[in-house]
Amino acid sequence: MMKESNLAELISRFQNHFKDFNFTLMEVCGTHTHVIRKAGIHQLLPKGVRLLSGPGCPVCVTGSGYIEQAVRLSRQPQTIITTFGDLLRVPGNTGTLAEARAEGGQVRVVYTPLDAVEFAKAHPEVEVVFLGVGFETTAPVIALAIQTAYQQKIRNFSVLPALKVLRPALEQLLQDPAISLDGLIAPGHLGVIIGAKAFSFLVSKYQLPTVVTGFRPVELWLGLTALARQIESRRPSLENMYPQAVSEEGNPSAKQLMKDVFIQEDTEWRGLGLVPGSGMGFNSMYRSYDARVRFAMKPIKSEEPPGCLCGPILLGKEEPENCPHFGGVCQPEHPVGPCMVSTEGTCAAHFYYPKSYS
């Protein structure tokens, strides 16, 4: 593995060799987005090489209608919402969970969904709802929480699901004639669960050069170099540049957990709309743990804040700096859209790391 001390040489070789090339790459992982900005990778690429951020932030792609459902649940008597902290300030149609809590809504931050199960077990007199937001990276531990509640007969626990499968969204994005990509950096965290082979469709179906990478700057530069070489040779392939963490098949136990608990369903993505087969609902055994069923909830149409470009930004169609709210009325402390809220959001990355690099 290349050492950090060789990074300057790697960057120099990339800059010199590809200085006259023109191609567009995309990463679909919020952690990659922030590392790229913090390390100044976006500034060090040759002028003809574009690096876009795609729909890799699960909080960001969750529609405001889902947040509105959670806000309304938090105001119901004897009902407590449990959630990861990064959802608190995501705007719904009429406000955030943080605002609902300040107005008396019952919202509790937990570190894992299993904490929510334990809280429900200790407080059988209230309904405890966990907000299940995430990709396949997060889904296994949520599946485990549901199984645990089922096995322990904890009947006052449920999950409001907004779990998403990345592949259908990527396919819809790649079929958009307004989006033209020459290569893709696949997310390492997701690869740990689903395996490198899960990204092979990008090559076989779309002839799109693809690499799976880690999260250190040197690992990203190695991935960028591999992609550029594929583009140069016109030989698209899938390269796993993160073999120390990502195997071909992924984590069989985690995948089995998802298979045991979830079924595919259609779900909404910010920027993409309704994406068929991209959601994870509950199978018949665990259906009673679906908060939508337990509370007879109807879908709420998402409403985008006027002028907010979060949707197009998630598809790489716009840059955060082009949004009229960016850096003005929309900042991490008072965000207009979710792309500025989440620690994985593209707008937050551009706000915190506009030009400087380390």
Position 2 pLDDT exceeds 70? no
Nearest in space to 314 (alpha carbons), one of 86, 56, 138, 25 = 56
Confidence grade of residue 4 (pLDDT, cut at 50, 70, 90): low
What pLDDT shows up at residue 342?
A: 81
Lowest mean pLDDT among 121-130, 182-191, 238-247, 337-346: 337-346
Give the span between the Cα atoms of 269 and 81, in whole angstroms. Answer: 22
Give the span between the Cα atoms of 238 and 184, in whole angstroms. Answer: 10
Domain with CATH 3.40.50.11740 in the chain: 17-300
Mean pLDDT to the nearest integer, 288-297: 97
pLDDT digits (tens, 9 = 90+) for 95-150: 999 999 999 999 999 999 999 999 999 999 999 999 999 999 999 999 999 999 99
Q: What angle do CA 78, 80, 86 make, to 5 degrees?
A: 165
Mean pLDDT to the nearest integer, 330-358: 86
Burial of 331 (0-12, 13-18, 19+ CB in 10 A): middle
Mean pLDDT to the nearest integer, 237-266: 98
Confidence grade of residue 358 (pLDDT, cut at 50, 70, 90): very low
% of the chain beyond a pLDDT of 70: 97
Position 357 pLDDT exceeds 80? no
Using alpha carbons, list the distances in angstroms from residue 115 to 69, 145, 181, 278.
Answer: 22, 9, 41, 27
Segments of 100-139 assigned E as strands: 107-109, 127-134
Are residues 131 and 84 in contact, defined by beta-carbon separation less than 8 angstroms? yes
Three-class HEC string of 62-79: CCHHHHHHHHHHHCCCCE
Residue 98 parent element (H or E) = helix 97-102
Mean pLDDT to the nearest integer, 311-317: 96
Give the span between the Cα atoms of 185 and 52, in whole angstroms. Answer: 10
What pLDDT shows up at residue 354?
A: 86
What pLDDT shows up at residue 5?
A: 59
pLDDT digits (tens, 9 = 90+) for 27-62: 999 999 999 999 999 999 999 999 999 999 999 999
% of the chain beyond a pLDDT of 90: 94
23-27 and 183-186 beta bridge pairing: parallel
Are residues 191 and 223 in contact, defined by beta-carbon separation less than 8 angstroms? no
Cβ atoms < 10 Å from Cβ of 218:
19
Give the span between the Cα atoms of 322 and 238, in whole angstroms. Answer: 33
Give the span between the Cα atoms of 266 and 64, in whole angstroms. Answer: 16
Confidence grade of residue 159 (pLDDT, cut at 50, 70, 90): very high
What pLDDT shows up at residue 147?
A: 98
Pick the CATH number of 17-300 from 3.40.50.300, 3.20.20.10, 3.40.50.720, 3.40.50.11740: 3.40.50.11740
